[in-house]
Structure 1
């Protein structure tokens, strides 16, 4: 009944909003400066805060975190940049302190960089307060969360952007230019994922000065992400972090803008990596060695698209491996793979041989990188964090559509609960919800990310 109600509610509000999601012809800033708050000033929050503080068109007016150590570090960042001290919330460790920040008013937008389970309720509260949301890359935990976030945005018409930084990676954006230029021909198959050894993120010693590794504590005894993120590996089995991989793939295939996901299934391996890590680092008698982890070491998710493409995602965070997002873009004329930084284009490359991608990247360098590469130097994740914050701030100033909007946010993020459902149902293939209620047929691509962003 809840799902049916949400869909009816969505249909009545969606049509009225459809026109406002088109990129306007005029893109001039209506505001020269925006007042932003930040909920969550932990390790990720501090990286994003630095990008806000670097900007003259942003006033960081409020900070909220229930961990005094992290809030103190954030204030030191503000002081380092010689910016006015923002009002702070959460020193009393009240988990509802963010509501007081929102109720105080005076904010144009808020950045949410908290543990995943808080993203949906915080975003909903902000949108209800008419405060624009830039949310880190999990929109919700359950499928119902995603409908609730979507419906709140459609009712309130408050801007919402998923802060997926990989969409702004230099090679990813060059490939976008190539896709738009038809270099790969007609797209057929794509791959991506989150393949990142996170064992030293999920466990540490509990020392605030050493957030990564150094022990095998988690939960109440852990610090930073080990305090909350590891529990998701204990309780859940699915594609827990899809947006890094699916974001660029969705851009390339125009998901929600002339294309859509239609079907999804997921498979999970056995879970061995985290337990083995605990035993090797802390010994078989350590309390953490008694934990049973539900998350499969490698989770493989497959998506079918309306226009005939398939997309494969892999979540691989519990085993020893170098970092890779495993991108592959393959069409009728060739393919690109980021693992070997290589490309093969029929008629351009020698038969059955790879070419180095750098020549092609230079040729198809995206206008954003041409314009802002120097400015982005020193920003987090190789400059990507500058670009994702820049996109949010510029769209907010201009009152323009967010380049990664509410439909993108819930579609990409809903892969997680759907993959969990598929695995729990013996790897069943499921229908993928159409969050746009058919509007994907008429919505136009805005993923050009031209130099206005």
Structure 2
């Protein structure tokens, strides 16, 4: 059995909202639209489908830009970052602790249809010595009123996946910077719309990918940029996490929303944790870009087998038909000819892994367990000790050796760095183009699997600006 969420390895990194008291009206309010979301064209009317067809089919053609690029655009400098949080379940209810722990941040507004959750989160804010936040609990669209406030600089959304797009859109249209949990959206036309809105509103829209801030990931990033791996050739990332028990546990997820995605899509539902770090190693959108993806998937057997063994007759899950591949394997090729392997498996028994591998002409690193083989340091086909490369730790890990919060500290470093960039008026470590690129495998892998592995073009969300090298997460410590 899984441990309690607070203790679980990786704390179930898919950011699902949980209701400790069992399903509530929120499971209806914030999953009601899921049946039509993220299904390629299946959830659209015929007119909408015709309009969205080029993007949903994976066209790399750029829509007409509606604004200037957001590449290299800094935040406005501010003494205090005022934050509004949408979604206070399993993920949002814990991330609020980290926003409250970072100096120069004030949580001014909270939104969740479950009033008990907003009350609990509001108590944390006042316990931290901040004024009582405004709360929004009136129905599934009350987040729009939060976004409309004039005293919010940044909106953070931690809700079921199908709501991310509309919440990010509302925040941008109300002039707010916004960060959402992954995936950013579930259709290519939605990704393009957020790119356009970010450019038009001059506000950043970010995928808050915490795994990019893992200690190993940031160390490998700096080593790669220093040339220790030579010319980069290949990488791999994954989300391999046995979630069967949690997906059938009504006390962990609020309703069946997370499990139901396995009745809708066959592709990689959660590529960001694996793709984001490798994209950073290879400077995707910063001198290289992902150009196409080919995916295959196994039969969908794991969830049905688990249900047969563990769920009683009459449980609502018995009405579900699972089509989501138990294991998806995708190959991404970049413009420079590099290869990236992505894997996803949450419905069969196995130990946790994000794979997190990088190889080049001088050697390679592989995680889970961590090991390294570099010339001239290693020889005789024997792996080396990755711990001996601690001098390559990113400055964030040198400054915060034991960060608080979940997932080994990566959550805190994500929040700390983002809030630091906003306070000091810096360019964010990643932007809307990265968010769209890291999320594009969700719809494209589904299309590829349904087309027997046929390659699907990954759009160039930068509209050609990927060719220019620019900074990313391998940052220098700023002066406060």
Selected match of 1:97 from 133, 142, 145: 142
Distance 1:452 1:301 in 2: 37
User: RMSD between aligned alpha carbons?
Assistant: 2.1
SS where residue 311 of structure 1 aligns?
A: strand
SS where residue 91 of structure 2 aligns?
A: helix
Query: Paired residue for 1:22?
Result: 72
Determine whether 1:269 maps to 2:314.
Answer: no
Give 5+ residue unaligned stretches, structure 2.
Answer: 1-49
Alignment of 1:55-204 (within 5 A): 55-90=102-137, 92=138, 94-204=139-249
Query: Paired residue for 2:455?
Result: 429
Selected match of 2:332 from 274, 291, 303: 303
Determine whether 1:281 maps to 2:281.
Answer: no
Distance 1:442 1:287 in 2: 52
Query: Paired residue for 2:369?
Result: 340
Selected match of 2:392 from 352, 359, 364: 364
Shift of 1:12: 5.3
- Conserved in 2, the CA contact under 8 Å of 1:159 and 1:401? no
Distance 1:332 1:443, change over 3 A: closer
Alignment of 1:266-415 (within 5 A): 266-283=295-312, 286-360=315-389, 362-374=390-402, 376=403, 378-415=404-441
Shift of 1:451: 2.4
Q: TM-score, normalization: structure 1? A: 0.89
- Conserved in 2, the CA contact under 8 Å of 1:197 and 1:320? yes
Shift of 1:291: 2.2
Aligned length: 425
SS where residue 152 of structure 2 aligns?
A: coil
Shift of 1:189: 0.9
Shift of 1:392: 1.7
Determine whether 1:11 maps to 2:65.
Answer: yes
Deviations, residues 47-86 of structure 1 (Å, cap 9, x unaligned): 2111111123111000001122322332232243233210
Q: TM-score, normalization: structure 2? A: 0.84
Distance 2:199 2:64 in 1: 7
Alignment of 1:207-222 (within 5 A): 210-211=251-252
Shift of 1:285: 6.1
Query: Paired residue for 1:260?
Result: 289
Shift of 1:7: 6.1
Distance 2:338 2:373 in 1: 19
- Conserved in 1, the CA contact under 8 Å of 2:157 and 2:167? yes
